[in-house]
Copies of this chain bind each other. A is one copy, B any other.
Amino acid sequence: MQTYLDCYPCVLRQALEAARMAGATPGQEHEIVLATLEILKSLPEGATPPAIGTEVHQIVREITGNQDPYLLVKRESTEKALALLPDLYALLDQADDRLEAAIRLSIAGNIIDFGPNPEYDLWQVVKRVSRQAFAINDLPVLRKRLAEVESVLFLGDNAGETVFDRVLIETLEGDVTYVVRGGPVLNDATREDAEAAGIDQVAEVIDNGARVPGTILSKCNPEFQARFRDADLILAKGMGNYETLSTVDAPIFFLLQVKCPIIGLDVGAKVQSIVVKKGNYAH
């Protein structure tokens, strides 16, 4: 997905929030905002929002010296989600359609996101997403593909959301490889966050080698690139993965909540929608 002009103010706002999360001094905040203005002024053609986010968060780390500003909030997100785990299993046990219920839970967990809007009540979101209609519903196609393939490449998104993804992984029949970011960036899940959610007990966990809040294939390591290329079915969680992979030719299904009106325009669904969307190129 391209970066729209409407993304520019949001990038600037997120840069300031990241600076504060990193404990920047007022002088460092100013430096980070000025550096972000420079990034926005000289965007390369076709830069996706996560590509800009990558640069912004790198600058925040460089200027503040804080290598993982979201470390504590990520741990807190995981703890809050783990505390809900018995309730999530209870919802799943009541469901007539376990796969759909587990996919809804995984999408509910996608609310955990410090980019667009950090305020939400997690359990309320779980209840809402358990019931609301899909704005885009490619679940029937996904269900068919899941029955045909032996393995799934699962691209994670945020820490805490990992707990919800674990419940979905436990519901899937085939082998799952869960992919985390190559290093801390925003509140995105790293290996530590996947393990804290217990995903290593139910799936192989690999990292993609890139410190990007999304999946920019050219920045990923050769091992991940090969796994991506050879995958029979890819589940991609969240907006960052959508923004960076929406035009890539691969057998992807995007699972996400729309939390931003601009991505909503691109996806074709309103804010607060839940979406299971087959990639345009998926076969």
Contact = CB atoms under 8 A, between A and B. Distances in A.
What 8 A-B pairs are tightest by C-beta distance, nearest first?
A9-B13, A9-B12, A9-B9, A37-B41, A37-B37, A5-B33, A8-B12, A37-B40
A38 interface: yes
Contacts of A38: 41
Interface residues of A, number: 16
Given A37-B37, A37-B41, 19 more contacts: A5-B16, A5-B29, A5-B30, A5-B33, A6-B16, A8-B12, A8-B16, A8-B33, A8-B37, A9-B9, A9-B10, A9-B12, A9-B13, A9-B16, A12-B12, A34-B41, A37-B40, A38-B41, A41-B41
A231 to B, nearest CB: 36
Interface string A196-233: 00000000000000000000000000000000000000
A148 to B, nearest CB: 43
Interface in A4-62: 5-6, 8-10, 12-13, 16, 29-30, 33-34, 37-38, 40-41
Contacts of A13: 9
Contacts of A34: 41
A38 B9 CA distance: 14
Contacts of A10: 9
16 contacts: A5-B16, A5-B29, A6-B16, A8-B12, A8-B16, A8-B33, A8-B37, A9-B9, A9-B10, A9-B13, A12-B12, A34-B41, A37-B37, A37-B40, A38-B41, A41-B41
Interface in A236-260: none
Contacts of A37: 8, 37, 40-41
Contacts of A30: 5
A84 to B, nearest CB: 31
Interface in A100-125: none
Nearest to A13: B9
Interface in A54-79: none
A91 to B, nearest CB: 36
A41 B41 CA distance: 10
Nearest to A41: B37
Contacts of A33: 5, 8
Nearest to A14: B9
Contacts of A8: 12, 16, 33, 37
A261 to B, nearest CB: 12
A29 B33 CA distance: 22
A13 B8 CA distance: 8
Contacts of A9: 9-10, 12-13, 16
